[in-house]
Amino acid sequence: MKSIQELSEIRDRMKQAMVIRKGTEKSYDAVAGQGSVRSQVLICGGTGCTSSGSVNIHKALDEELERRGLQDQVKVVQTGCFGLCANGPIMIIYPEGTFYSHVKVEDVPEIVSEHLLGGRSVDRLLHKEKVDGVLTTIPSLADTGFYKKQHRVALRNCGAIDPENIDEYIGTDGYQALAKVLTQMTPQQVIDTVLASGLRGRGGAGFPTGRKWQFAANQPAGKKYVVCNADEGDPGAFMDRSVLEGDPHAVLEAMAIAGYAIGADEGYIYVRAEYPIAVHRLQVAIAQAREYGLLGQDIFGTGFNFDITLRLGAGAFVCGEETALLTSIEGNRGEPHPRPPFPAVKGLFGKPTIINNVETYANVAQIINNGAAWFSAMGTEKSKGTKVFALGGKIVNTGLVEIPMGTTLREIIDDIGGGIPNGKKFKAAQTGGPSGGCIPARFLDTPIDYDNLLAIGSMMGSGGLIVMDEDNCMVDIAHFFLEFTVDESCGKCTPCRVGTRRLLEILEKIISGNGEMEDLDRMEELCRYIKEGSACGLGQTAPNPVIATMKYFRDEYIAHIVDKTCPAGVCKKLLRYSIDPEKCIGCGKCARNCPNEAIVRTDYIAPGHKLASMQILAEKCVKCGACMSGCKFDAISKS
């Protein structure tokens, strides 16, 4: 078990070892004198980069270093997500801070010989991005447009430390906040600090975290629980996963602090079983924290006990809802309960329980270390601090971004996200996942915070931010989310179970070309009925994607209903594919790609071409699009 003294010694030692990553020491020698290796190579081991092959790069690099006898001079560190997932696998080499993107296994020998031995950067691997319309080489991560407007608090260690090494976390002042609360603060002072910081829940609803803790602390002493919601139900989001993969100790430390504040000695993390890397890193982190005595009995000799158990969630959206989540930890079908009683009064196994989101916890230790005023200086009047978003969809820089509250959507999309690819036009941004709404272009300059997003008919949600362009059909998107909620409704109450199904049927009618104008009124009425009658948040918010699209994109609904067309060319049953005989060179590739023999040769030969053009037989076409995506001559279009 470590004492506070020992903790500080590890911190000081690790700070020295990691100073190289500040990227300020420009020459190898300066750093070598400080007793650390001369170069450190950070490789992203988040899910995104792992999917694009970072594990093999790590292996190849280890082997190459060994072959050249450099293993003691160059340290390779596997980190969590850097954020720029679209450009993965990502590698950063310190002390220079050189940023390589799209690295391949074949590039490794050159990186070693040129960069690590020769001291010259491998220019072709340097990250490039458009600056004022010109493709420019960006030498370091901090200089990318993607990073400039970000402010990393919850993500501060993601991509900066090795998440499987507790010493590195300690080297960034890790567990100092726990030491501070246990030795210098009363539980009430901890709660007051969190209250004063203005921190609100990052799981969606935005409830003030300090108030929640106060409720639980006010319950009579006895068994209490601290729970972390790592269920991340939004089907298009990966913020919480990235925090767990990149900085698991931040969550453990915060849970212990919360335990001290409310008088609990046991915590549960409910994490999706589908997140194998996050689960593994949590297991490693919990074992290391126990070994150091930072979890367990009599922490720092103060008499405070706290331990954490992992529970694997099994993929049900409703289990992200807090009462359902607790039922699921108890081992039952995760069905929600009516509140009150709130979990703070009667929660897990009937005991007072606080439940917070991963990102909420990721802010706590820093609030304790830096003070409430430091935190509340960021953000807007009622939404303090930062918010992490998983930026995806039709955007150049897909990835993970953290911005101060109050940043506009336009800044996120244009400056950080690098705009929309292929010169397409922005149509809408979707936040809040299946419970949220979509934001049309006219609100791009709205400062993002809890209240503003609600006012424009969407919500903060947990942080999914999906950008859609002119090629996306908003009726189809509404259908997509509703299909999700119909699937995920636990079936307990009628408005949610039957109401969402009826709503989906009407949407299906519309996208098949059988809609009538009266359907719009029927949908509005159903939405109201589901919202008002459902027992839990899932049903109460399920109509939101429909309501928002009907409000902002009514013309698209009308086009489907009256003109029987899908303006974006998505809804299959309303689509017609056709071949432009002047552009078609008659190569016949489309006919070979067609699964249904729906494409035949005509006898028309366009001027300048040798072969007769092709033609699509509407009655046989199954509208799969295989012809169009295979055509190299842009001769096939859909309408």
Partner 1 sequence: MKKKLTTVVFRGTPEQEEKLIAAIDKYKGVKGAMMPILQEAQSIYGYLPIEVQKIIAERTGVSLEEIYGIASFYAQFKLNPDGEVAVAVCLGTACYVKGSGQIIEEVSKQLNVAVGSTSPDGRYSLEATRCIGACGLAPVMTINGEVYGRLTVAEVAGILEKYR
Ligand X SMILES: Cc1cc2nc3c(=O)[nH]c(=O)nc-3n(C[C@H](O)[C@H](O)[C@H](O)COP(=O)(O)O)c2cc1C
Site for ligand X in 440-469 (CB under 6 A): 462
357 binds ligand X (CB under 6 A): yes
Counting residues that bind partner 1 (by CB under 8 A) gives 59
Contacts with ligand X, 105-134, as mask; x by CB under 6 A: ------------------------------
CB of 192 to ligand X, least distance (A): 18
Q: Under 8 Å CB-to-CB from 606, ≥6 apart: which residues?
A: 581, 582, 583, 584, 613
Q: How far apart are CA 214 and CA 224, in angstroms?
A: 13
Sole binder of ligand X in the list 89, 95, 198, 204 (CB under 6 A): 204
Q: Does 588 bind partner 1 (CB under 8 A)?
A: no
Among 17, 45, 46, 636, binds partner 1 (CB under 8 A): 46
Give whichever of 360 and 452 is closer to ligand X, judged by the CB atom.
360
Name which of residues 248 to 307 contact partner 1 (CB under 8 A). Answer: 273-275
Judged by CB under 8 A, which stretch of 6-14, 197-205, 328-336, 444-452 contacts partner 1? 328-336
| Strand stretches in 521-619, DSSP E | 577-579, 599-601, 614-616
Query: Contact between 145 and partner 1 (CB under 8 A)?
Result: no
Alpha helices in 489-543 (DSSP H): 494, 500-511, 518-533, 537-541
437 binds partner 1 (CB under 8 A): no
Binder among 392, 404, 537, 586 for partner 1 (CB under 8 A): 392
626 binds, among partner 1, ligand X, none (CB under 5 to 8 A by kind): partner 1
- Of 72-80, 252-260, 535-543, 548-556, which segment contacts ligand X by CB under 6 A? 535-543
Q: Is position 355 an interface residue for ligand X (rule: CB under 6 A)?
A: yes
Q: Which of 298, 487, 516, 582 lies at the binding interface for partner 1 (CB under 8 A)?
A: 487
Regarding 501 and contact with partner 1 (CB under 8 A), the answer is no
Question: Measured from the CB atom, is 250 or 579 closer to ligand X?
Answer: 250
Which residue lies nearer to ligand X by CB, 121 or 462?
462
Instruction: Output DSSP code: residue 161.
Output: S
**Residue 94 or 552: which CB sits closer to partner 1?**
552
Nearest-approach distance from CB 399 to partner 1, in angstroms: 6
630 binds, among ligand X, partner 1, none (CB under 5 to 8 A by kind): partner 1
Cβ of 407: how many Cβ atoms within 10 Å?
24
Contact 386, 260 (CB under 8 A): no
What are the C-alpha distances in Å from 29 to residues 34, 35, 37, 69, 338? 9, 10, 10, 19, 64
Taking a C-beta distance cutoff of 8 angstroms, is the pair 4, 181 a contact? no
Q: Looking at residue 320, what DSSP letter applies? A: G
Contact call for residue 320 and ligand X (CB under 6 A): yes
Q: Note whether 20 binds partner 1 by CB under 8 A.
A: no
**One-letter amino acid for residue 128 of the chain:** K
11-19, 45-53, 194-202, 604-612 -> range binding partner 1 (CB under 8 A): 45-53
Q: Can residue 480 be called a binding residue for partner 1 (CB under 8 A)? A: yes
| 8 Å CB contact between 325 and 227 | yes
**Angle, helix 176-184 to helix 248-262, in steps of 10 degrees:** 10
Dihedral sign from CA coordinates of 163, 386, 179, 4:
positive
Q: Which of residues 351-390 bind partner 1 (CB under 8 A)?
A: 390
Are 247 and 362 in contact, with CB atoms under 8 Å apart?
yes
What backbone phi and psi angles, to 5 degrees, belong to 131? -115, 120
- Residue 159 contacts which entry, partner 1, ligand X, none (Cβ below 5-8 A, type-dependent): none
User: Does 356 sit near ligand X (CB under 6 A)?
Assistant: yes
> What is the total residue count of the chain?
639
- Torsion angle of the four alpha carbons 412, 413, 417, 422, in this order, in degrees rounded to the nearest 10: 180
> How would you class 512 by CB atoms within 10 Å of its CB: exposed for 0-12, middle for 13-18, buried for 19 or more?
middle
d(CA 482, CA 467): 18
Tell me the two tokens of residue 290.
């126990």
Question: In DSSP terms, which residues pair with 131 in a beta bridge?
Answer: 134
- Gyration radius of the chain's alpha carbons: 27
Among 249, 394, 492, 531, binds partner 1 (CB under 8 A): 394
Residue 477 engages partner 1 in binding (rule: CB under 8 A): yes
Q: According to CB under 6 A, which one of 313, 406, 537, 543 is a site residue for ligand X? A: 537
The gap from C-alpha 278 to its chain's centroid, in whole angstroms, comes to 13
Q: Which run of H or E residues covers position 488? A: helix 474-488
Residue 135's Cα: distance from chain center in Å? 27
Q: Which of residues 152-211 bind partner 1 (CB under 8 A)?
A: none
Given 1, 196, 312, 612, the residue binding partner 1 (CB under 8 A)? 312
Tell me which H or E stretch contains 427.
strand 426-431
The least CB distance from residue 638 to partner 1, in Å, is 12
Within 118-208, residue ranges assigned H as helices are 145-148, 166-171, 176-184, 187-197
By CB under 8 A, tell whether 413 contacts partner 1.
no
Compute the distance between CA of residue 39 and CA of residue 189 in angstroms, rounded to an integer: 43
| 127 touches partner 1 by CB under 8 A | no
Minimum gap (Å) between residue 397 Cβ and ligand X: 24
CB of 99 to partner 1, least distance (A): 16
Binding site for partner 1 (CB under 8 A): 46-48, 51-52, 84-88, 234-238, 241-242, 273-275, 311-316, 319, 328-334, 349, 390, 392-394, 398-399, 430, 433, 464, 466-468, 472, 477, 480, 487, 490, 593, 595, 624-626, 629-630
Binding site for ligand X (CB under 6 A): 201-205, 207, 229, 231-233, 317-318, 320-322, 355-357, 360, 462, 536-538
